[in-house]
């Protein structure tokens, strides 16, 4: 047993290190991932230790990064691409949705694209335009991609390794405002969940909050505030956005009868819409209130002085819980 305290960013670094050690076909590629160690330092020291054939600083071109990584995957490599910020994945969008996502289907399973595309996502760090977006719905809507996001260091450590080992392309969203959150965990333990399972992050009986990525800690603090007020909230960390582990969500809602889905992304046609629809189908007779959604507003990500209004906080979550409990 090797218990270590790591930040979420540090855990990703440790996980990538393990992945590089484990399989020599794993390569990391992206802008500034080498000597700088990435703008968030997630790849810090990896180039020094594994060389610049394994940790590759690429030209400043996202379509190039993903398109070339795709080609390397066709040659038997397992590239891990870093997109520097969420708002810069769009130049690579065509490669991801038209090429990477479809190759297995187009070739009737003859060709796989075991690519991991890492994207720091979400707001809350006071950044300028294009640095705080939540583009997950675009990718979740695309068949052929798997999409995941950890919310804590231990998951980050295990999930990045599981993603790299997966034979399907995985879009790996990193909740950037949680990069510095720390936790102690055993780096030698086996992961306790497969990549695509959700986790009950806190047990409760009165209502369920489903969240993922950066909003999970927010949901947990909402649950502790609610506990002080006499309400018992269950919090589910989705972890995987495609596929979604509806069984875990359903089991919780069967118990609590109430569901609030929370995410940073704009609410309209966001993941909350799909979860609300599915759970309404599955739990129609168990629901005591309509499924509610708390998310970003349907506006472009605002200037940073306004982001605290845009991002769902514990108060907005509790407001929704109150409405659910009142129904």
Partner 1 sequence: MVDKIAYPVQLIQPDGRRVFRPDYTSLVRDIGPDQLRDLYEDLVAARRMDVEAVALQRQGELGLWAPLLGQEAAQVGSARALRPDDYAFISYREHAVAYCRGVDPGVMTRMWRGCAHSAWDPSSVNVTNPAIVVGSQGLHATGYAMGAHLDGAEIATIAYFGDGATSQGDLAEALGFSMSFNAPVVFFCQNNQFAISEPVHLQSPVPIAQRAAGYGMPALRVDGNDVLAVLAVTRQATQRAREGSGPTFIEAVTYRMGPHTTSDDPTRYRAAAETEIWKARDPIDRMRRLLEREGLLSDEFLARVQATADAVAARLRSGTVEAPDPAPLDLFDHVYSTDHPLIDEEREQYAAYLAGFAGIEEALS
Could you say which of 4, 17, 57, 88 contacts ligand TPP (CB under 6 A)? Answer: 88
Q: Residue count at the site for partner 1 (CB under 8 A)?
A: 40
59 vs 109, beta carbon nearer ligand TPP: 59
Site residues for ligand TPP, 27-56, by CB under 6 A, read: 31
Crossing angle for the helix pair 271-282 and 246-256, to the nearest 10 degrees: 60
> What is the per-residue binding string for partner 1 in 123-162, x denoting contact by CB under 8 A?
---xxxxxx-------------------------------
Q: Which region among 1-9, 152-160, 173-181, 307-315 touches partner 1 (by CB under 8 A)? A: 307-315
Query: Does 263 contact partner 1 by CB under 8 A?
Result: no
Asked if 64 touches ligand TPP (CB under 6 A), the answer is no
CA gap 154, 168 in Å, rounded: 22
In this chain, which stretch among 40-48, 83-91, 194-202, 305-313 interacts with ligand TPP, using CB under 6 A? 83-91
DSSP state of 303: P
Q: Which is nearer to partner 1, 184 or 298 (CB)?
A: 298
β-sheet bridge partners, residue 262: 294
Contact (CB, 8 A) for 80 and 28: yes
Please give the sequence-ordered ranges of beta strands (E in DSSP) within the chain, or none if there are none: 3-7, 26-30, 55-57, 78-82, 116-121, 146-148, 170-175, 182-186, 199-202, 207-211, 233-237, 240-242, 259-266, 292-296
Q: Least distance (Å) from partner 1 to the CB of residue 185? A: 28
Alpha-carbon distances of 197 from 192, 194, 265, rounded to whole Å: 10, 6, 21
Q: In terms of CB distance, is 84 or 208 closer to ligand TPP? A: 84
CB of 131 to ligand TPP, least distance (A): 8
Binding residue (CB under 6 A) for ligand TPP from 57, 64, 91, 99? 91
For residues 263-301, one letter each, b for 16 or more C-beta atoms within 10 angstroms of the residue's C-beta and e for the rest, the string is: bbbbbeebbbbbbbeebeebbeeebebebbbbbbeeeeb
Burial 131-164 (b: 16+ CB within 10 A, else e): bbbbbbbbbbebebbbbbbbbbbbbbbbbbbbbb
- Structural contact between residues 200 and 145, judged by C-beta atoms closer than 8 angstroms: no
Q: Is 131 a catalytic residue?
A: yes
The one of partner 1, ligand TPP, none whose footprint includes residue 59, by CB under 5 to 8 A per kind, is partner 1
Which one from 131, 231, 263, 310 is the annotated catalytic residue? Answer: 131
Within 10 Å of residue 313's Cβ, how many Cβ atoms?
18
Which one among 4, 18, 54, 64 touches partner 1, defined by CB under 8 A? 64
CB of 43 to ligand TPP, least distance (A): 14
Residue closer to partner 1 by CB (options 71, 243) is 71
Sites for partner 1 among residues 162-221 (CB under 8 A):
none
| Residues 6 or more apart in contact with residue 52 via CB below 8 angstroms | 34
The answer to whether the CB of 213 falls within 8 A of the CB of 270 is: no
* Binding status of residue 93 toward ligand TPP by CB under 6 A: no
Q: List interacting residues with partner 1 (CB under 8 A).
A: 31-32, 34-37, 39, 57-61, 63-64, 87-88, 90-91, 126-131, 268, 297-300, 302-307, 309-310, 315-316, 319
Q: List interacting residues with ligand TPP (CB under 6 A).
A: 31, 60, 62, 84, 88, 91
Task: Catalogue the active-site residues.
Answer: 131
């Amino acid at each position: 047993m090797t218990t270590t305290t790591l930040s979420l960013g540090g855990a990703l670094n440790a996980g990538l290190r393990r992945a590089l050690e484990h399989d020599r076909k794993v390569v990391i590629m992206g802008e500034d991932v080498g000597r700088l160690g990435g703008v968030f330092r997630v790849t810090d020291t990896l180039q020094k230790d594994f060389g610049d054939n394994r940790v590759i600083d690429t030209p400043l071109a996202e379509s190039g990064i993903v398109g070339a990584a795709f080609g390397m995957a066709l040659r038997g490599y397992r590239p891990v691409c870093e997109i520097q910020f969420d708002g810069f994945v769009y130049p690579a969008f065509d490669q991801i949705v038209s090429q990477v996502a479809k190759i297995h289907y187009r070739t009737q399973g003859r060709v796989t694209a075991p690519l991991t595309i890492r994207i720091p996502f979400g707001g809350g760090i006071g950044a300028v335009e294009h640095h705080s977006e939540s583009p997950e719905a675009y990718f979740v809507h695309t068949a052929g991609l798997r999409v995941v996001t950890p919310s804590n260091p231990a998951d980050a450590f295990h999930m990045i390794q599981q993603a790299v080992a997966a034979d399907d392309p995985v879009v790996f969203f990193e909740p950037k405002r949680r990069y510095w959150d720390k936790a102690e965990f055993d780096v030698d333990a086996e992961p306790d969940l497969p990549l695509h399972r959700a986790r009950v992050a806190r047990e409760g009986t009165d209502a369920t909050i489903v969240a993922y990525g950066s909003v999970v800690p927010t949901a947990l603090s909402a649950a502790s505030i609610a506990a002080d007020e006499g309400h018992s909230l269950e919090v589910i960390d989705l972890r995987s956005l495609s596929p979604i582990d509806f069984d875990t969500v359903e089991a919780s809602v069967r118990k609590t009868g109430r569901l609030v889905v929370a995410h940073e992304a704009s609410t309209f046609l966001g993941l909350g819409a799909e979860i609300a629809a599915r759970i309404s189908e599955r739990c129609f007779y168990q629901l005591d209130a309509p499924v509610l959604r708390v998310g970003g507003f349907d506006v472009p990500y605002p200037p940073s002085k306004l982001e605290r209004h845009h991002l769902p906080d514990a108060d907005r979550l509790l407001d929704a819980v109150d409405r659910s409990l009142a129904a």
